[in-house]
Structure 1
């Protein structure tokens, strides 16, 4: 994710802005390796400094990063993995619980989230998001919006339940 933040900032705001963000965040890493896990504190420092530098909320930054992750990072670096998710948005969402099992085979050091689905209708699904990592629900919203764009399917993503309100996990209603 840290490398994706860097790529997002550099492409949209330039190297100078990225250098300012690194200084503001006090993150002393010259190059992020995409397959290596980093502490969440580094990611949040970078996301917070990015939001401050470009003048948007942290939530907006996380959503933008989630979309970037799907459209630019994952689709570019792992096209076979992405195309194996399904031929349309609904299929991809139905296959999402199994998607991270494949990622764990590729990157055993990573601790991916777990997804479950419920309330499946012809134009919506409830996506249950379980993770040891807190504070990333807006990143997940961005991922879902990015998946919608990937399949040229406009979607709405509503957060129905969150750990911030004392629930055990997040539930998103994804409608198309």
Structure 2
């Protein structure tokens, strides 16, 4: 098998691309660490994907797949705390500050409850947000763009009916505020 190796500079990544027999291409990203910054970028990118109108046909399967993506986002966004607590000494913060941020910020405490609810099916502890969130309704709503639709997830939280995508945006905003407060961004 003949292996052709060529290097292409992908901006700051400086990632090599390997071509094998002119048919297979392998891209190796420059930064391989899954540190808190990498995970933070991934979670932000995930939210942007969730907020984009869907172009595939709106069906029961695509609505459920999109909702799964949202629920996976909740888990990933909440579990930023784990890598932050691990990295806390190097970041100049206390691990307890990370837990306190989640407990004391209603947006992050609701995120924690939604993540744990999806992961464990039921909350095994008292809800951090004060009430057990309940997924009320999943649907796909047509957007103004031709053929596009948007996921809608109604979440009952106490007496309020909340939008699942708004909760996701609120969680990103809350983490962003904490990172700024801690001098991380």
TM-score (norm 1): 0.28
> Which structure has the higher relative contact order (CA within 8 Å, separation 6+)?
1
Which structure has greater helix proportion? 1
Which structure has greater strand proportion? 2
TM-score (norm 2): 0.27
The structure that has the greater radius of gyration is: 2
